[in-house]
Chain A
Amino acid sequence: MSKFRKDSGKKLPGVNTSSLPDIVFMLLFFFMVATTSKETDPTVALTPPAGKRTTDLTPYKQRSEVDFLYLGKPRNIARADDFKMGYALSLDNVVQATPDGLYTTNAIGRWKVDKFNEKKSRLTVPIEGVITLIKSDKEAPTGLIFDVRDELQKVDALSIAYSVMEKGNK
């Protein structure tokens, strides 16, 4: 009488996978909630500078109180000469020349006001409170930044932010 008889012929029971979809769905929902979809890739190329003690703009982004403005070299190198000092703006993926005061079209001002009017009903702040985040190439001349500032000042969009990568101990 052997108590330990071999289960010859019996297979191992399969692992119950019926809860697998639940687990996967849980992960899925986590990532869906945590996702902040990336602002579209700008049509200008830029490498941001690094800095310390920055402000995190996530809460403003959640309230959509930030507009993104890119300043960099045009991706189409052949066109670099068309722009002042070789730098172009990207407003919602449309390449624009930087304002130059000569035959300025005030594109930035119109862009900002249009964007504001579009989402006005969802915002609690006036246009002065809607931040314009300038993402600029680290080599870009400051003169261009101030040109942009002037355009924004004309339409009363008085909140500005200079984008940098956070570095080191935060």
Chain B
Amino acid sequence: MAKRDIPEINAGSMADIAFLLLIFFLVTTTMDKDTAYLRKIPKLIENPPKPPDIQERDILAIQANRQDKLMVRGDMLDPDDISDKILEFYRTNENAPGVYVDNKFPLYSMADLSYYLAQFDGVEKELSALNAQGATEMAAIKENVLNELQKKIDVIKLYNKYKPGGIPEISYQANLRIETQQLTSYELFTKIHSEIEEALYELKNEKSKELFGVSYDVIAQKSATDLEDRESRERMDLLEVLYPARIIEVKPR
């Protein structure tokens, strides 16, 4: 028998098949993003020690009741005005470290580099002494402290590039406290978080423009997308230290 050519496969329907798949993916694709407010739950401690006394001025209590009425520091308030209160909380004493412009708001102190460097040396010595004794548990704790101090030193060094001298630090006890009741709606609860984010954004944005000359959006975008960009991430850290968000969510009774 004579050799015959193998007939070519008809590829005319390929496009149809591809179209079918395409339409399937078009329909099933959801482009919506999941957006949320990220928070941390404090670690569970079996026998919690007695909580330290906190000055009235260091607390910004945001209270919401079961009728979804809102109170900030004892004043009834519209939910849209919470961010103004938070800005006031952070800004009142900010430009006069060590002095009360108004003693109803948290005090700022000046932290300078030499102080933290001395602290760092001290802890380092303690750590090597502990390691020599073989007290590993204590050494691990000290190591954490050391890391924290190192971070602080890095931040201050970065700050000094733009502004000489010390770095203003808000009182370490200053906190935003969200107190709700059982029947407060989730909507109002997230509204409070929204307002907190709004206020922090405004604070950071302004500081960012003052120090680096760029808006906070630009830095945040860069640090999120470009993993190589260390500068932007350090700037983010600095802004975080300047305006720490210590949010306490109180469990309703």
Contacts and interface: CB of A to CB of B under 8 A. Distances in A.
Given A54-B37, A150-B251, A161-B38, A49 B22 contact: no
Interface residues of A, number: 55
Contacts of B189: 142, 145, 162
Given A55-B38, A159-B40, A142 B185 contact: yes
B128 to A, nearest CB: 29
B29 interface: yes
A142 B182 contact: yes
Contacts of B19: 24
B213 to A, nearest CB: 22
Given A17-B15, A156-B43, A164-B190, A55 B37 contact: yes
Contacts of A53: 194, 197-198, 201
A35 B29 contact: yes
Contact of A143 (B29, B193, B252): B252
Contacts of B11: 21
Interface string B181-216: 111111101110110011001000000000000000
Nearest to B14: A21
A49 to B, nearest CB: 4
Interface residues of B, number: 46
Given A56-B33, A133-B34, A162-B39, A49 B25 contact: no
Q: Which of B31, B39, B64 has the most CB of A within 10 A?
A: B39
Interface in B40-60: 40-44
B10 interface: no
Given A20-B15, A53-B194, A37 B44 contact: no
Interface string A3-38: 000000000000001001100110110011011111
A164 B25 contact: no
Interface centre among A71, A131, A156, A158 (most CB of B within 10 A): A158
30 contacts: A17-B15, A28-B21, A31-B25, A31-B29, A34-B29, A37-B28, A49-B186, A49-B191, A53-B194, A54-B36, A54-B194, A54-B197, A56-B34, A57-B35, A138-B185, A138-B187, A139-B185, A139-B186, A141-B182, A141-B185, A141-B186, A142-B182, A143-B181, A159-B41, A160-B39, A162-B39, A162-B193, A163-B35, A164-B193, A165-B35
Interface of B: 11, 14-15, 18-19, 21-22, 25-26, 28-31, 33-44, 64, 180-187, 189-191, 193-194, 197-198, 201, 224, 249, 251-252
Interface of A: 17, 20-21, 24-25, 27-28, 31-32, 34-38, 49, 51-59, 61, 66, 71, 131, 133, 136-143, 145-146, 149-150, 152-154, 156-166
Of all A-B residue pairs in the complex, the 8 with the closest CB atoms, nearest first, are A143-B182, A51-B194, A53-B197, A54-B35, A161-B36, A138-B187, A31-B25, A24-B18
Given A38-B28, A51-B194, A152-B41, 4 more contacts: A140-B185, A142-B184, A149-B41, A160-B39
